[in-house]
Chains A and B, each alone.
Chain A
Amino acid sequence: MRTLNYHSGAINNGTMADKILKKLNIEVWRQNNAKSKGKFETYTIENISTGTSFLEMLDILNNDLIEKGIDPIAFDHDCREGICGTCSLYINGRPHGPDSAVTTCQLHMRKFKEGETITIEPWRAKAFPVIKDLVVNRSAFEQILQAGGFVSVNTGGVPDGNAILISHEDAEEAMDAASCIGCGACVAACKNSSAMLFVSAKVSHLAKLPQGRVEAKRRARNMVAKMDELGFGGCTNTQACEAECPKSISISNIARLNREYLAARFSE
């Protein structure tokens, strides 16, 4: 069981204590489409409750902008509970903003100060081109997984679930790696725009289980080759990816990926 590195001095008497932030400045990247040149624009927003989520703050700002006849800010989001991996904002120089172990949609305004200027950018990486404003194209992640991030079984004709014994620890470790939500924060955090944490999470998840072990070498080789082909950078061990991962995926997965990859190369 991994330790959850959260905890931020929550109020523990069971009462909610929200305050109102009277004024905030929002400096945000505006870019109309993939081909146009982008630039920062600054807007002000008033009377935001500290219990409001960051994306709800953007909803409110967008409603203001629409009413003023300004094109609202496009940003990716969907589940708003930290699991779909759609939201992808680079806030004040950090993927998913100033809280630890959260996605942007779980970030709340209590993490910001009265009068603060908040800077919002899209993920910046060659392999993630901007579509509009803060929305990027992450289809490179899809291609990496299509290159081998699966177990080659068809529907039907499989053994009973209990026929494959898996130790509690292995299942938990596989689950830790499988918790990756594919948001791309690791790439955005990395100065080389490396996708090693993302790739290693899938390789580890499947390599830790007997079902996935069969193809482990081929999987590692094919996924790494695809990652390189798509323009992601190399890993220089800065550990920024682990620090910014909203699901606290460990860089020990990268070590496992390297072992699998080397084994695959030696067996060629």
Chain B
Amino acid sequence: MTMQNLDSKIPAGPLAEKWSRHKAAIRVVSPANKRKLEIIVVGTGLGGASAAASLAELGYNVKAFCYQDSPRRAHSIAAQGGINAAKNYQNDNDSIYRLFYDTVKGGDYRAREANVYRLAEVSPNIIDQCVAQGVPFAREYGGLLDNRSFGGVLVSRTFYARGQTGQQLLLGAYQALNRQIAKGNVKMYTRHEMLDVVIIDGKARGIIARDMITGQIKRFGAHAVVVATGGYGNVFFLSTNAMGSNGSAAWQCYKKGAMFANPCFVQIHPTCIPVHGDQQSKLTLMSESLRNDGRVWVPKKIEDAQKLREGKIGPNDIAEEDRDFYLERRYPSYGNLVPRDVASRAAKERCDAGYGVNSEGKAVYLDFKYAIDRLGRNVIEERYGNLFQMYEKITDQDPYKVPMQIYPAIHYTMGGIWVDYNLMTTVPGLYSIGEANFSDHGANRLGASALMQGLADGYFILPYTIGDYLAGEIMTPKIDINAPEFVEAEKNVTQRIEKLFHIKGAKTVDYYHKKLGNIMWDFVGMSRNEEGLKQAIAKIRELRDEFWKNVKVPGELNNLNPELEKAGRLADFFDIGELIALDALDRNESCGGHFREESVTEDGEALRNDEKYTYVSVWEHQGEGKEPVLHKEPLIYENIKLSQRSYK
């Protein structure tokens, strides 16, 4: 494939005018023609639901798909803390430029300037839209919208609905989607899982999906396909993702020619409930917003940490002067609100040095005593009540009385399908939005920016840019799902399912998934090095071979079969895990969530290497069992001067 496919299509002109100029230049489809065009949207989280609703409002015929039993259950629902927008309602000198700058800096200078600026530019519209839909954002006593602070920034620009902001924003998008379903503009397919994308004459023309209740493999045609299926964090087995979250739709796109960007950029969130025992299936996030009022600490004395681990003393037995508020100590200007990657590494550093506080030695404290003393319990309850309840139910500890125990966990994937400025992949007519694409967060995402990006893509960007492509498709008749490409794709999907089903080996899908997760966490997790990454690649390949010989998928093909669904997703996770490791091996610098032990400053902070690595790593599939080819999209900074990030 030529480098021409990697044209990012960033418009010319000054940064602040690029999006306006681009919108003026791109084509628009007439209402009469929109009625003749069909669009498939896969995934119904913030990106997918907002896109499906907005496209249907414009007059397109939309088919939307989700694996859940309702679009409302997509994992955006679990986002807690908030959504950023450059409203400057607090008069604290916020602006579109400042949000843009914070996001590029927070992403450790590995995101495109033009994309991020556009994200900041449309952010105020998102808040207006959500308010109009009836999203019950927190309000001040005077009736105005309230804001809170998040990590990596010095202003208050985060809008929130208790600790359930993702839930409320998704319900807003879901309501808009429901309205279009009722009008017949969206045909909704729940409990359907996309298993392949169909390409005809180089263009995306539909998908193959499995009806998860009947097992039937179905063909769906459209003039364009939008993949909004979230991230691939579950490759690590334990993560904050939902159990069903998977990378398979994105991976099928990759195998059909859509290139994959920056797979090694995975976010490890600093404030999750620690792993406990070996029967655990997932990790639970405690919102970053808690770092507004909670103080992070471990004991100063190693003997205190020892006693804590043995359960001989509790945290409240440790005197004030014996507590090490290590984030405040190391990063006085940002303190507890340093970005996620910095906070995660600092927690790991303390625990590795022997100061961890739970029996496994892998936890630090997040303490609300100081905030409760300052503000009163009622205020804390109003701000974080649901999170405190969640913590208590899981751990049987009351965080109003004892500090929370937290530890970093896999949370979000900045990497994803490569897209140009129009959010189109390297396959014409195939788009990717939200967490599924790579576009806006560089090497580290700032808190409260995932919701912003999902809704920016779905409400305000894709509905414009997809028109430019579809304007060239108005003469294309309804896609024929009996075309040979559909027949072939369906055959391949069926054969793969049957192959998995008939292995009838000895071990369960979860057995292999846990093993893969351990390899990923140990060698491709918070700290990476060349030797470990090479080992990981060899181990993943070995485990994948064993999986394809020895996995046991029970049940029936033509019935609801969760084990079969999991097996298909895990088969793709092996391949995704391998690509993450390959990408991490190539990038011998530390930036954002990607930490290479070979690249650190004298005082142990991450060291970026701009001379060698100021590019997007773009991987191209070469066929089963072949090494993928790495292309590099250079990142050009015309407005921001690159500097080593400092939060000190």
Contacts and interface: CB of A to CB of B under 8 A. Distances in A.
Interface of A: 1, 4, 6-8, 10-18, 32-33, 48-49, 51-53, 55-57, 59-60, 63, 65-67, 69-72, 74, 76-86, 99, 101-102, 106-108, 110, 131-132, 135, 137-139, 141-142, 145-147, 149-156, 158-162, 164-168, 170-172, 174-175, 178-179, 181-182, 205-206, 208-209, 211-212
Interface in B122-173: 125, 127-134, 136-145, 161-162, 164, 167-168, 171
8 contacts: A4-B381, A8-B396, A12-B398, A14-B402, A63-B511, A71-B555, A80-B281, A178-B168
A76 B563 CA distance: 13
B279 A49 contact: yes
A150 B134 CA distance: 8
Interface string B391-422: 01111111001110100000000000000000
B179 interface: yes
A168 to B, nearest CB: 5
Interface stretch (B66-74, B250-258, B431-439): B66-74
A156 B552 CA distance: 50
Contact of B179 (A56, A152, A168, A212): A152
Given A155-B54, A164-B131, 17 more contacts: A6-B393, A13-B316, A14-B397, A56-B279, A60-B279, A67-B506, A69-B554, A79-B77, A83-B164, A86-B69, A135-B560, A151-B175, A152-B179, A161-B130, A167-B141, A167-B143, A209-B134
A150 B179 contact: yes
Nearest to B167: A83
B78 interface: yes
A259 to B, nearest CB: 19
Nearest 5 A/B pairs, CB to CB: A165-B143, A150-B175, A158-B132, A14-B314, A13-B314
Contact of B277 (A52, A161, A179): A52
A193 to B, nearest CB: 18
B213 interface: yes
Given A55-B281, A86-B68, A146-B178, A63 B510 contact: yes
Contacts of A71: 554-555
Given A74-B562, A78-B75, A155-B463, A182 B70 contact: yes
A81 B284 contact: yes
B133 A153 contact: yes
Nearest to A2: B385
Contacts of B531: none
Given A77-B243, A79-B242, A211-B134, A59 B281 contact: yes
Contacts of A166: 139, 143
B459 to A, nearest CB: 5
A139 B311 CA distance: 48
Please indicate which of the listed interface residues B54, B128, B134 has the most CB atoms of chain A within 10 Å of its own CB: B134
A52 B279 contact: yes
Interface in B457-476: 459-460, 463
B57 A10 contact: no
A132 B242 contact: no
B190 interface: yes
A34 to B, nearest CB: 9
Interface residues of B, number: 101
B390 interface: yes
B11 interface: no
Given A83-B78, A108-B396, A66 B554 contact: yes
Contacts of A49: 277, 279
Contact of B178 (A106, A150, A208): A150
A168 B145 CA distance: 9
Contacts of A17: 311, 396
Contacts of B397: 10-12, 14, 16
Contacts of A102: 393
A171 B134 CA distance: 10
A99 B396 CA distance: 12
B502 interface: no
A11 B396 contact: yes
Given A7-B392, A212-B134, A160 B402 contact: no
A9 B561 CA distance: 39
Contacts of A82: 390, 393
A142 B510 contact: no
A15 B69 contact: no
Contacts of A151: 132-134, 175
A164 B190 CA distance: 35
B129 A178 contact: no
Contact of A83 (B77, B130, B131): B77
Given A149-B175, A150-B176, A78 B314 contact: no
Interface of B: 50, 53-54, 57, 68-70, 72-73, 75, 77-78, 87, 89, 125, 127-134, 136-145, 161-162, 164, 167-168, 171, 174-176, 178-179, 181-182, 188, 190, 213, 240, 242-244, 276-277, 279-282, 284-285, 308, 311, 314-316, 358-359, 378, 381-382, 385-386, 389-390, 392-398, 401-403, 405, 459-460, 463, 506, 508, 510-511, 552, 554-555, 559-563
B213 A131 contact: yes
Contacts of B401: 12
Nearest to B398: A10
Please indicate which of the listed interface residues A55, A56, A81, A142 has the most CB atoms of chain B within 10 Å of its own CB: A81
Contacts of A32: 559
A178 B284 CA distance: 22
A97 to B, nearest CB: 12
Contacts of A51: 276-277, 279, 396
B136 A175 contact: yes
Nearest to A208: B136
Given A110-B396, A145-B175, A171-B138, A78 B73 contact: yes
B242 A80 contact: yes
A185 to B, nearest CB: 15
A74 B560 contact: yes
A174 B510 CA distance: 41
Contacts of B243: 77-80
A15 to B, nearest CB: 4
B274 to A, nearest CB: 10
Please indicate which of the listed interface residues A78, A139, A156, A178 has the most CB atoms of chain B within 10 Å of its own CB: A78
A84 B178 contact: no
Contacts of A162: 87, 89, 144-145
A175 B390 contact: no
Please indicate which of the listed interface residues B188, B240, B359, B389 has the most CB atoms of chain A within 10 Å of its own CB: B389
Nearest to B504: A69
Contact of A141 (B70, B358, B395): B70
B244 A155 contact: no
A7 B618 CA distance: 50
Contacts of B69: 76, 86, 137-139
A66 B509 CA distance: 10
A86 B131 contact: no
Nearest to A59: B281
A106 to B, nearest CB: 5
Contacts of A48: 279
A70 to B, nearest CB: 8
A137 to B, nearest CB: 7
Nearest to B126: A161
Given A14-B403, A182-B72, A99 B562 contact: no
Contacts of B68: 78, 84, 86
A167 B396 CA distance: 35
Contacts of B133: 150-151, 153, 211
B598 to A, nearest CB: 36
Contacts of A150: 133-134, 175-176, 178-179
B45 to A, nearest CB: 11
A98 to B, nearest CB: 13
Please indicate which of the listed interface residues A48, A83, A172, A182 has the most CB atoms of chain B within 10 Å of its own CB: A83
A108 to B, nearest CB: 7
A165 B144 contact: yes
Nearest to A174: B136
B560 A132 contact: yes
